[in-house]
């Protein structure tokens, strides 16, 4: 009688792929039950990320079925469901990718304890990062708080990075598991009476492992060579990779991206790899500073004199500030679920500095509206712009959005696409339409205050107010 090895669970989370998945590779020679648990409560994805998750799960389920085993999707508390499913199928091991989010770490610790009491074990693998965040240390043995030395350290650690693991050809299904949810029951897509705010998303994105591979290949072919020169230009085709949502849900691994980019080479390679390492740095910070999503890493900022104003926040959220590069970015976010990175910095600086709105309000809006809403990168980036995070931007760095628009969108192509009511303005007024003479406004079909809003704040006054607010905090000069 042939020996049948114990079944195993592979618990898919932020690693929704078959290739280069160490958790899957560890169990592919055993009967396996692939599981994903839809969680509610702390750590649950925002609206745009839920849309992506739905389509990614459908894609993963199809790929697994082609290899002989279905994907089991359930909704509930994995601390209860995972041990129960493991018992049903007789699995002694549950394999999953390690996560850095505080709620996920707490959940995994409690799931580990529940499994251990039943004689089973949870085995965590490095699926989402190039290096374990708790293993990257300074020469003094401490976590890094500054990006540049962190990136140097990780570059050194990545010498000889092993190649990606191929996807399995076939999988043996475990038997005895419960019935799962079908895609229609996931509850992740907008549904009546809610408006279909994701209607345009499919024209911008193809979620899933195959979509991630196609995106990477297209970027390497069309964008990597010019990445350093064009990455700050929001209207440039392939100025950025567009891989962030695929990386967030693990439809492609950073190791796959790293190796493929190095194999391609080109003038933009080093700059691109440094962006991959910024993502690693963000997760390093979150691992060691779990309070980062809600609390400033620099404690003196607890006394910052924010001026919470729901009307100003709403104007910013809806792209109705009267500052074209800001409005174009916020409309791009609402309609596509994504925003160009340079524009993210501009709109964030405008919110927290010119408008003095709490950075947490911006972080929460991005978390709900970005398809790539990565908790670590989102929080780290907002704190960087606000000046209250690790290796933060100096307090006196206050982007002038008009000058930023003129520099990085000189002909106004980005603004014209997302703010079409301004499309007929001459280039010299596209980033400051309120300064256009009345006859030029009329010729362009623009009426400030009617067809397009007047600026909600004078930029010079906003800058002066921000500098005064920073000056009121003791120790801020050390930024």
pLDDT tens-digit series, residues 189-232: 999 888 999 999 999 999 999 999 999 999 999 999 999 999 99
Average pLDDT over residues 156-170: 94
Asked whether residue 168 carries a pLDDT value surpassing 70, the answer given is yes
Q: Does domain 299-478 have CATH number 2.60.40.2130?
A: no
> How far is CA 377 from each of CA 242, 270, 341, 367, rounded to the nearest angstrom?
15, 20, 12, 10
pLDDT of residue 477: 53
pLDDT of residue 396: 77
Contact assessment for residue 297 and residue 383, using Cβ atoms and an 8 Å cutoff: yes
pLDDT of residue 41: 81
pLDDT of residue 4: 46
The segment(s) of the chain belonging to CATH 1.10.579.10 are 299-478
User: What homologous superfamily does CATH list for 7-127?
Assistant: HUPs (3.40.50.620)
320 Cβ contact list (under 8 Å, min separation 6):
327, 453
Mean pLDDT over the full length of the chain? 94
Q: Choose the weakest-confidence range: 312-321, 383-392, 428-437.
A: 383-392
pLDDT of residue 392: 72
pLDDT of residue 216: 98
User: Who wins on pLDDT, 4 or 78?
Assistant: 78
pLDDT of residue 275: 95
The per-residue pLDDT for range 29-39, each reduced to its tens digit, is: 999 999 999 99
pLDDT of residue 453: 98
Active site residues: 275, 278, 306, 341, 359, 382
pLDDT of residue 1: 28
Average pLDDT over residues 303-327: 97
> CB burial class (10 A; 0-12, 13-18, 19+) of residue 466?
buried
Backbone angles phi, psi at 30, to 5 degrees: -125, 160
Q: Does domain 129-164+209-288 have CATH number 1.25.40.80?
A: yes
Contact assessment for residue 15 and residue 21, using Cβ atoms and an 8 Å cutoff: yes
**β-pairing, 172-173 with 31-38?**
parallel
The per-residue pLDDT for range 211-222, each reduced to its tens digit, is: 999 999 999 999
The segment(s) of the chain belonging to CATH 1.25.40.80 are 129-164+209-288
Q: Give the confidence band of 478 by pLDDT, cuts at 50, 70, 90.
A: very low
Average pLDDT over residues 82-104: 96
Asked whether residue 240 carries a pLDDT value surpassing 90, the answer given is yes
pLDDT of residue 475: 60
């Amino acid at each position: 009688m042939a020996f049948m090895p114990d079944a195993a669970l592979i618990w898919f989370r932020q690693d929704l792929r078959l290739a280069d998945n160490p958790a899957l590779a560890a169990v592919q020679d055993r009967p396996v039950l692939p599981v994903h648990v839809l969680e509610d409560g702390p750590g649950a994805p925002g609206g745009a990320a839920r849309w992506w998750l739905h389509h990614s799960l459908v894609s993963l389920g199809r790929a697994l079925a082609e290899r002989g085993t279905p994907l089991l999707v359930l909704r509930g508390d994995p601390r209860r469901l995972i041990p129960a499913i493991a018992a049903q199928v007789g699995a002694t091991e549950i394999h999953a990718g390690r996560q850095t989010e505080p709620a996920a770490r707490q959940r995994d610790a409690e799931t580990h304890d529940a499994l251990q009491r039943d004689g089973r074990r949870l085995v965590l693998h490095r699926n989402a990062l190039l290096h374990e965040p708790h293993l990257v240390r300074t020469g003094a043995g401490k976590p890094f708080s500054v990006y540049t030395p962190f990136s140097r350290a990780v570059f050194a650690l990545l010498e000889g990075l092993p190649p990606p693991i191929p996807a399995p050809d076939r999988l043996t299904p475990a038997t005895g598991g419960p019935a799962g949810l079908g895609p229609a029951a996931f509850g992740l897509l907008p549904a009546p009476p809610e408006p279909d705010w994701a209607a345009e998303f499919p024209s911008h994105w193809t979620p899933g492992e195959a979509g991630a591979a196609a995106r990477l290949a297209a970027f390497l072919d069309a964008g990597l060579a010019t990445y350093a020169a064009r990455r700050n230009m929001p209207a440039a085709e392939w100025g950025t990779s567009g891989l962030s949502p695929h990386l967030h849900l693990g439809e492609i691994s950073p190791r796959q991206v790293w190796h493929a980019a190095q194999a391609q080479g080109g003038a933009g390679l080093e700059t691109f790899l440094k962006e991959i390492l910024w993502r690693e740095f963000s997760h390093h910070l979150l691992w060691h500073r779990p309070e980062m999503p809600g609390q400033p890493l620099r404690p003196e900022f607890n006394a910052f004199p924010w001026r919470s104003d729901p009307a100003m926040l709403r104007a910013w959220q809806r792209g109705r500030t009267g500052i074209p590069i800001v409005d174009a970015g916020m409309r791009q976010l609402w309609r596509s679920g994504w925003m160009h990175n340079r524009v993210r910095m501009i709109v964030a600086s405008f919110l927290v500095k010119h408008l003095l709105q709490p950075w947490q309000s911006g972080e929460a809006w991005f978390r709900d509206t970005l398809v790539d809403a990565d908790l670590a990168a989102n929080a780290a980036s907002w704190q960087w712009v606000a000046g209250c995070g690790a290796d933060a931007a100096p307090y006196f760095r206050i982007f002038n959005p008009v000058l930023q628009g003129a520099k990085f969108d000189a002909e106004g192509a980005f603004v014209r696409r997302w703010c079409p009511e301004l499309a007929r303005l001459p280039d010299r007024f596209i980033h400051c339409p309120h300064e256009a003479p009345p006859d030029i406004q009329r010729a362009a079909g623009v009426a400030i205050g009617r067809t397009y809003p007047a600026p909600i704040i004078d930029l010079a006054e906003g800058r002066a107010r921000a500098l005064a607010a920073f000056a009121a905090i003791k120790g801020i000069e050390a930024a």
